[in-house]
Amino acid sequence: MRERGTAVVSGVARAGRATWAYIRRAPGTFVWLAILFVTTLIIRHVAPAAADRILERRSTNIHYLEKSPIRVLITSALWIAGSGWFSYFVLYNIFHVPAERWLGTLRWLCVAAIAHVGATYISEGVLYWSIQHGYAPESARYTLDYGVSYALAGVEAVLTYRIAKPWRYVYAAAVVLYYGLDLIQSRDFTSVGHFSAALIGFACYPLTRGRGEPWDPAEALRAVRRRLSKAN
């Protein structure tokens, strides 16, 4: 019994060390996720009216971009719109974690920030043009606009350069198709923002230079097959 207990403790310790090693290799991503977890709990545990006030004050709409742009551009990226926190936990591990490990925390953060800020101004600029030309009501300048999806779209796109050719082109086409179809179907300022963020991510190619050899999916698959053959 004592040996079994020792084995369990040892297994838990190993799992803990492995988890910490995984987190430590992408610190920015997991700090961001931790903040999003806290802000999600806040929104879920306050009254709906209070939640609306909180999000309204952190919205990158036309009104606040004119009044306090730096504040809202930062705080809008600390709250989740739409899907729950766990969905973003999965997406961050699929896209942000490998991007941060590949680029390094500073370059990864630059890509995310450039996509977030650039797509925000492009989408709100389109909305402002629509208001000025009578295609949208004046009240649209107060529309809620917050969340992390623009930054995510930019990081998804920049990961194109992590992949070896010809798979790189398949991945890039999938990103363009995903956000392009949403733009065609929705035709709103948010879909404009997502598509713009993806294009900005592609344009961040200079930040990817000197970051090692591209990852080859075919070679990775062959390596897995070799390990399985040895195991058998």
DSSP letter (8 states) at residue 214: P
- For the residues 20-49, what does the mean pLDDT come to? 94
Q: What does the pLDDT read at residue 216?
A: 84
Q: What does the pLDDT read at residue 8?
A: 63
- For the residues 121-129, what does the mean pLDDT come to? 96
How crowded is the C-beta side of 30, counted as CA atoms within 13 Å? 11
| 2 confidence band (pLDDT: 50, 70, 90) | low
Q: What pLDDT digit, counting tens, does each position of 128-166 carry?
A: 999 999 999 999 999 989 999 999 999 999 999 999 999
Q: What pLDDT digit, counting tens, does each position of 38-55 carry?
A: 999 999 889 889 988 999
Give the rounded distance of the alpha carbon of 14 from its chain centre: 30
How is the chain split into domains, by residue range? 2-231
| 83 confidence band (pLDDT: 50, 70, 90) | low
Residue 137 makes CB contacts below 8 A (sequence gap 6+) with 131
* CATH superfamily, domain at 2-231: Rhomboid-like (1.20.1540.10)
Distance CA 61, CA 145 (A): 6
**Angle between the N-to-C axes of helices 105-132 and 149-158, in degrees from 0 to 180, rounded to the nearest 10:** 120
